[in-house]
Structure formats: structure tokens, C-alpha cells
């Protein structure tokens, strides 16, 4: 039950963090209707990150599993960001829309990274508090 509540609280905290990053990016870039997609993807990232970290808590070494999950999550978002920026640079100069493309790329990548990091920090903190000791008194 402890793992379930850990994942539930991590879901709410990481959703809040991802939503705040999306909101800040939308205000900073003076975004319009196109950021609806970014808000929806941020919610999906929160759900999938919660599921991944929930499963990682049931592994034989949960601290190592959560670290691996966080590393893979952050690396995948960095890879997505680099590939989207590369795709933007590969467009012919007349078709590049810097004001439209790069804020969306940032909106897809930065909230995902924030969500994964908050999930990892919260789950790692809860796992550190629940490590059983040897014997009855931890000796």
C-alpha cells in the first residue's frame, strides 16, 4: 500500500511541476492555441512516468531501478529534443518558423524532463525512508 500512495503523491507532484513548466513556457513565449497539444502531452507523460516508477518500486533493487528509469526517461526526452531541433534546422530557410517551432519543442521536452525528475526525487526519497534494517531494531 505504501508503494501505491508513493506513486499517487508522485503523480500529483510531478503533474503539478510539469504543468507549471508548461504554463511558464506558454506565458514566456506568448503562446496561443498550439499549446493545447503541449498540455495534453504533459498529462500523458505524467501518467506514463507514474506507471514506470510504480513498476520500478517492485524490482528487487528498487533504488537502482528508479535511477535507471529516471536516466532512461531524461535521456529519451533529451534525444527527442535534439532530434526535433535537428529537424527544425534541416528545413529549408524559407520554411523555418522559429517563432512557432522552437517554443513547441521546448514545451514538449522541458515539462517531460521536469516530470521525470520530480517523480524520481520523490520516489527515491520515499524508498530511502522505507529501507528495512537487519533484525528488529535495525541492527
Mean pLDDT for the chain overall: 86
- Is 137 contained in some domain? no
Query: For position 13, what pLDDT does the model report?
Result: 93
What's the CA gap between 14 and 1, in Å, rounded? 20
User: How many domains would you assign to the chain?
Assistant: 1
The arithmetic mean of pLDDT across residues 117-129, rounded, is 88
- Is 133 contained in some domain? no
- Is 30 contained in some domain? yes
- Is 123 contained in some domain? yes
Query: For position 136, what pLDDT does the model report?
Result: 56
What's the CA gap between 3 and 20, in Å, rounded? 25
Domain, as residue range, for 101: 2-127
Q: Which of these ranges, 5-9, 30-34, 71-75, 91-95, has the smallest mean pLDDT?
A: 91-95
Tens digits of residue pLDDT in 15-60: 999 999 999 998 988 887 878 888 999 999 999 999 999 999 999 8
What's the CA gap between 43 and 38, in Å, rounded? 9
Amino acid at each position: 500500500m505504501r508503494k501505491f500512495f508513493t506513486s499517487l503523491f508522485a503523480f500529483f507532484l510531478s503533474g503539478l511541476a510539469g504543468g507549471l513548466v508548461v504554463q511558464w513556457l506558454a506565458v514566456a513565449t506568448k503562446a496561443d492555441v498550439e499549446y493545447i497539444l503541449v498540455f495534453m502531452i504533459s498529462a500523458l507523460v505524467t501518467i506514463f512516468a507514474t506507471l514506470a516508477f510504480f513498476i520500478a518500486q517492485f524490482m528487487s533493487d528498487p533504488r537502482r531501478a528508479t535511477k535507471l528509469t529516471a536516466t532512461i526517461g531524461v535521456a529519451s526526452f533529451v534525444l527527442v529534443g535534439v532530434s526535433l531541433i535537428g529537424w527544425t534546422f534541416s528545413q529549408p530557410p524559407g520554411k523555418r518558423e522559429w517563432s512557432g517551432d522552437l517554443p513547441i519543442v521546448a514545451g514538449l521536452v522541458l515539462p517531460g524532463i521536469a516530470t521525470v525528475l520530480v517523480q524520481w526525487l520523490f520516489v527515491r526519497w520515499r524508498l530511502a525512508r522505507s529501507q528495512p534494517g537487519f533484525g528488529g531494531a535495525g541492527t
